[in-house]
Amino acid sequence: MTIQLTSSPSSTAHTLVIPVQQTDELAHRLQTLADRFQLNAAVLQHDFKAEFKEALSLYQPDGKKIYLLGLGKQPTAIVWLRAFRDLFFRQKTRLTQTVAVDLSGFEPETIEAVLLGIRWGGYNLKLHVTDQAEPTDFYAEEGRLTIQVTDHQQLASEQALRRAEALADTHRQMLDLMNSPSNYKTPQTLADWAMASGQRHGYSVTVFDKAEMEERGLQALLSVNQGSAHPPVFIIAEYKPTDQPGAKKVGIVGKGITFDTGGISIKPSTNMHLMKSDMGGAAAVLGTMEVAAKLQLPVHLIGIVPSTENMVDGQATKPGDVIGSYLGKTIEVIDTDAEGRIILADGLGYMVRNFQPDVLIDLATLTGSVIATLGYHAAGLFSNNDELTAQLLQSARQTGEQLWPLPLWDEYKEDIKSDVADLKNFSGKPVAGAISAAKFLEVFTESHPAWAHMDIAGMAFADTEFGTQKNATGFGIRLLIDFLQHLNG
């Protein structure tokens, strides 16, 4: 599909999409549209209320089709994205090869959300179906999308289009990685993807194999890997802007568990098949690295992904074992299903010791506790820095990838005290699980003054229109890119 911007109504597109906001002026807006397309205004006003995701299809005498797409009362970026994603996904077999979207009455920033929604609407979740359907007319290579904007919006629109295209392709690849089953996705798969991306987009990628991890003392990651037939990897990606020698250095660390059985503390069988998603933090880090390099953002960005399976065999780490870590601290493993924080301990420790970033952020599908707290509408945010918290919350509001702050009070240190080691990986209590996990991670930041942890367990895999089970969202990429774009502002 090719995309072009224009300042005049498209005369060649056979399908036209017109987004409509639900305002006090709705009746007048519909009267204008009725006059434009020679429709009965009273009927249009009766049948269309511009509710969120409401779509009304209209046909012209020449066979051209018009969709009025409702945005609701206060359309934020995520509302725009979801409305267009829903329309284009549900109507993709009916879309003509040429489609136009009239955004001339809206701010150019909406283009990014609209295009992401349209691109996402063409996503194919059926990765391993043998009888694949042919691409629909619009989503085939010959498909054409025209976006109408006003003349004075042209430059800003071109910039928004560039950002959206950079995000959309990477986002799709992260969805594919997350949705892939574990027999198609091992830790080496993530490493191979990162290496190929770095070569394509001009950033460096180093991958430690198991022998090098042993040599460097990444004992926590190695301990989680003991029950797996697939060796672990430790991915280090680094992007440096060529013309910004004083750029801020940001370190991002993502949990890369490509399948999680729970280890010896094995999970119930119900929904265990969804544990192919336990590398949502890794997807956010890998995706952010690629998009930052594509857009040549003025930040020095380092991404670290410790990756392994958490499996069960005779060599697997047992509850009660005491293991080491890169920073030398010892960990009593109370629950082998609390493995994400263990591998992040080595990721965070390696980051602070070897790169000394100005800002340190980690993301992980870490706890069911955060889902019990926030449901499926926000990720938990933990930070020791009020300014960083405010910046991340602003990016969350801007992108619609919502965060909600939770406490990091020292009273919760009691939950990770061990009798036999420096700390334990699980409190054993049925309360405050997300908080005690964050307190565990805090130990391995070495008191970094600007650290944030995002528990994205409820957000990385969600119910969408693409399938009957939860599937990948790519949560965190858009949020982090927005944060990085405004970091030096």
H helix count then E strand count, the chain: 14, 20
For the question of residue 341 being annotated catalytic, the response is yes
CA–CA dist 152, 7 (Å, integer):
9
Write down the catalytic residue from 65, 163, 185, 341: 341
Check: CB of residue 257 under 8 Å from CB of residue 279. yes
Task: Return the C-alpha torsion angle 19, 23, 26, 32, nearest 10.
Answer: -60
Q: Indicate the helix (H) or strand (E) that contains 30.
A: helix 26-37
Report the binding-site residues for Mn(2+): 255, 260, 278, 337, 339
Tell which residue, 80, 120, 122, has the closest CA to residue 101.
80
CA–CA dist 221, 218 (Å, integer):
6
For the question of residue 267 being annotated catalytic, the response is yes
C-alpha R_g of the chain: 24
If 0-12 CB within 10 Å is exposed, 13-18 middle and 19+ buried, where does residue 298 land?
A: middle
Tell which residue, 103, 110, 182, has the closest CA to residue 148.
103
Residue 385, Cβ neighbours under 10 Å: how many? 16
Write down the catalytic residue from 240, 267, 329, 413: 267
Angle, helices 154-179/187-201, rounded to nearest 10 degrees:
160
Q: Which residues are catalytic?
A: 267, 341
